[in-house]
Amino acid sequence: MHLLLLNGPNLNLLGQREPGLYGHQTLVQIEMALCERAAADGLKLDCFQSNFEGALVERIHQAMGQVDGILINAGAYTHTSIAIRDALLGTAIPYVELHLSNTHAREPFRHRSFLADRAIGVITGFGPTSYDLALEGLVRHLRKSVLGGEG
Protein backbone atom coordinates (compact mmCIF):
# COMPACT_ATOMS: atom_id res chain seq x y z
CA MET A 1 0.00 0.00 0.00
CA HIS A 2 1.35 3.39 -1.04
CA LEU A 3 0.36 6.48 0.96
CA LEU A 4 1.11 10.21 0.78
CA LEU A 5 1.40 12.68 3.66
CA LEU A 6 0.74 16.29 2.66
CA ASN A 7 1.46 19.30 4.86
CA GLY A 8 0.45 22.81 3.93
CA PRO A 9 1.67 26.33 4.74
CA ASN A 10 3.68 27.15 7.85
CA LEU A 11 3.93 23.54 8.96
CA ASN A 12 7.61 23.66 7.98
CA LEU A 13 7.96 25.93 11.05
CA LEU A 14 6.80 23.27 13.51
CA GLY A 15 9.05 23.18 16.55
CA GLN A 16 9.49 26.97 16.47
CA ARG A 17 5.97 28.06 15.59
CA GLU A 18 3.64 28.77 18.56
CA PRO A 19 4.92 25.75 20.53
CA GLY A 20 2.17 26.17 23.15
CA LEU A 21 -0.31 25.35 20.41
CA TYR A 22 1.62 23.06 18.07
CA GLY A 23 4.25 21.45 20.31
CA HIS A 24 8.02 21.15 20.07
CA GLN A 25 8.45 18.46 17.45
CA THR A 26 9.68 19.52 14.03
CA LEU A 27 7.94 18.42 10.86
CA VAL A 28 10.98 16.35 9.90
CA GLN A 29 10.77 14.50 13.23
CA ILE A 30 7.04 13.87 12.74
CA GLU A 31 7.59 12.68 9.16
CA MET A 32 10.47 10.38 10.11
CA ALA A 33 8.52 8.78 12.96
CA LEU A 34 5.49 8.25 10.72
CA CYS A 35 7.62 6.75 7.92
CA GLU A 36 9.10 4.30 10.46
CA ARG A 37 5.63 3.32 11.66
CA ALA A 38 4.43 2.90 8.10
CA ALA A 39 7.47 0.83 7.08
CA ALA A 40 7.04 -1.44 10.13
CA ASP A 41 3.53 -2.13 8.85
CA GLY A 42 4.75 -2.83 5.29
CA LEU A 43 3.50 0.50 3.91
CA LYS A 44 5.28 2.99 1.69
CA LEU A 45 4.78 6.60 2.80
CA ASP A 46 5.87 9.66 0.81
CA CYS A 47 5.95 13.09 2.47
CA PHE A 48 5.51 16.51 0.88
CA GLN A 49 5.19 19.98 2.42
CA SER A 50 4.59 23.25 0.62
CA ASN A 51 3.63 26.81 1.46
CA PHE A 52 2.07 27.15 -2.01
CA GLU A 53 -1.47 26.12 -2.84
CA GLY A 54 -0.64 25.28 -6.48
CA ALA A 55 2.26 23.05 -5.46
CA LEU A 56 -0.06 21.06 -3.20
CA VAL A 57 -2.59 20.78 -6.04
CA GLU A 58 0.16 19.55 -8.40
CA ARG A 59 1.37 16.97 -5.87
CA ILE A 60 -2.17 15.64 -5.50
CA HIS A 61 -2.45 15.34 -9.31
CA GLN A 62 0.87 13.44 -9.42
CA ALA A 63 -0.48 11.01 -6.86
CA MET A 64 -3.30 9.91 -9.20
CA GLY A 65 -2.93 6.23 -10.02
CA GLN A 66 0.17 6.03 -7.80
CA VAL A 67 -1.15 6.43 -4.29
CA ASP A 68 -3.87 4.51 -2.42
CA GLY A 69 -4.60 7.13 0.22
CA ILE A 70 -3.65 10.62 1.41
CA LEU A 71 -3.13 12.09 4.89
CA ILE A 72 -3.51 15.85 4.69
CA ASN A 73 -2.86 18.68 7.11
CA ALA A 74 -3.59 21.54 4.75
CA GLY A 75 -2.93 24.14 7.47
CA ALA A 76 -4.76 27.41 6.78
CA TYR A 77 -5.72 26.19 3.28
CA THR A 78 -8.14 23.84 5.03
CA HIS A 79 -10.34 26.84 5.68
CA THR A 80 -9.96 28.57 2.31
CA SER A 81 -8.99 26.26 -0.54
CA ILE A 82 -11.59 25.09 -3.01
CA ALA A 83 -8.64 24.26 -5.32
CA ILE A 84 -7.24 21.65 -2.90
CA ARG A 85 -10.74 20.24 -2.34
CA ASP A 86 -11.24 19.96 -6.11
CA ALA A 87 -7.85 18.28 -6.57
CA LEU A 88 -8.67 15.68 -3.92
CA LEU A 89 -12.12 15.02 -5.35
CA GLY A 90 -10.82 15.12 -8.93
CA THR A 91 -8.27 12.41 -8.30
CA ALA A 92 -10.76 10.46 -6.16
CA ILE A 93 -7.98 9.36 -3.80
CA PRO A 94 -9.42 8.59 -0.34
CA TYR A 95 -8.07 10.98 2.28
CA VAL A 96 -8.02 11.75 6.00
CA GLU A 97 -7.90 15.39 7.15
CA LEU A 98 -5.82 16.04 10.24
CA HIS A 99 -4.76 18.88 12.50
CA LEU A 100 -2.41 19.19 15.45
CA SER A 101 -4.63 21.66 17.27
CA ASN A 102 -8.35 21.31 17.91
CA THR A 103 -9.57 23.68 15.22
CA HIS A 104 -13.09 23.66 16.72
CA ALA A 105 -11.77 25.08 20.00
CA ARG A 106 -10.14 28.01 18.19
CA GLU A 107 -11.30 31.04 16.17
CA PRO A 108 -14.62 30.63 14.30
CA PHE A 109 -12.88 30.93 10.90
CA ARG A 110 -11.03 27.67 11.70
CA HIS A 111 -14.29 25.80 12.28
CA ARG A 112 -15.01 25.64 8.56
CA SER A 113 -13.17 23.09 6.43
CA PHE A 114 -13.44 22.74 2.67
CA LEU A 115 -12.09 19.19 2.93
CA ALA A 116 -13.90 17.57 5.87
CA ASP A 117 -17.23 16.58 4.34
CA ARG A 118 -15.60 14.38 1.70
CA ALA A 119 -12.84 12.97 3.91
CA ILE A 120 -12.94 9.42 5.26
CA GLY A 121 -12.60 11.13 8.63
CA VAL A 122 -11.05 14.05 10.46
CA ILE A 123 -8.54 13.90 13.34
CA THR A 124 -8.01 17.16 15.19
CA GLY A 125 -6.41 18.23 18.45
CA PHE A 126 -4.00 15.45 19.44
CA GLY A 127 -0.75 17.24 18.62
CA PRO A 128 1.74 15.08 16.70
CA THR A 129 -0.32 12.02 17.71
CA SER A 130 -2.94 13.25 15.21
CA TYR A 131 -0.59 12.00 12.47
CA ASP A 132 -0.43 8.50 14.02
CA LEU A 133 -4.19 8.34 14.49
CA ALA A 134 -4.83 9.54 10.95
CA LEU A 135 -2.46 6.89 9.57
CA GLU A 136 -4.17 4.20 11.61
CA GLY A 137 -7.63 5.32 10.43
CA LEU A 138 -6.64 5.57 6.78
CA VAL A 139 -4.95 2.17 6.70
CA ARG A 140 -7.83 0.44 8.48
CA HIS A 141 -10.28 2.03 6.04
CA LEU A 142 -8.25 1.03 2.98
CA ARG A 143 -7.69 -2.55 4.19
CA LYS A 144 -11.40 -2.90 4.90
CA SER A 145 -12.22 -1.64 1.37
CA VAL A 146 -9.81 -4.13 -0.20
CA LEU A 147 -11.29 -6.98 1.84
CA GLY A 148 -14.80 -5.94 0.82
CA GLY A 149 -15.84 -4.83 4.27
CA GLU A 150 -14.57 -7.92 6.10
CA GLY A 151 -11.40 -6.43 7.61
Q: Is 22 part of the annotated catalytic residue set?
A: yes
Using CB under 6 A, count the residues that bind ligand DQA: 10
According to the binding rule CB under 6 A, does residue 50 interact with ligand DQA?
Answer: no
> Measured from the CB atom, is 1 or 120 closer to ligand DQA?
120
Q: 118: helix, coil or strand?
A: helix
145, 144, 110: which is closest to 125 by C-alpha?
110
* CA 43 remoteness from chain centre: 16
Name the minimum Å distance from CB 52 to ligand DQA.
14
According to the binding rule CB under 6 A, does residue 101 interact with ligand DQA?
Answer: yes
Answer for which of 25, 58, 80, 110 binds ligand DQA (CB under 6 A) is 110
According to the binding rule CB under 6 A, does residue 133 interact with ligand DQA?
Answer: no
Is-contact 63 88, C-beta < 8 A? no
Site for ligand DQA in 2-31 (CB under 6 A): 10
Cα separations in angstroms, 139 against 76, 79, 85, 132: 25, 25, 21, 11
Residues in the chain: 151
Distance between CA atoms of 130 and 48, rounded to whole angstroms? Answer: 17
Name the minimum Å distance from CB 115 to ligand DQA.
11
Q: Is 141 part of the annotated catalytic residue set?
A: no
Name the minimum Å distance from CB 45 to ligand DQA.
18
Site for ligand DQA in 58-97 (CB under 6 A): 73, 75-76, 78
SS3 content of the chain, % helix, strand, coil (to 5): 50, 15, 35
Residues tagged active-site = 22, 99
Contact residues toward ligand DQA (CB under 6 A) are 10, 73, 75-76, 78, 99-101, 103, 110
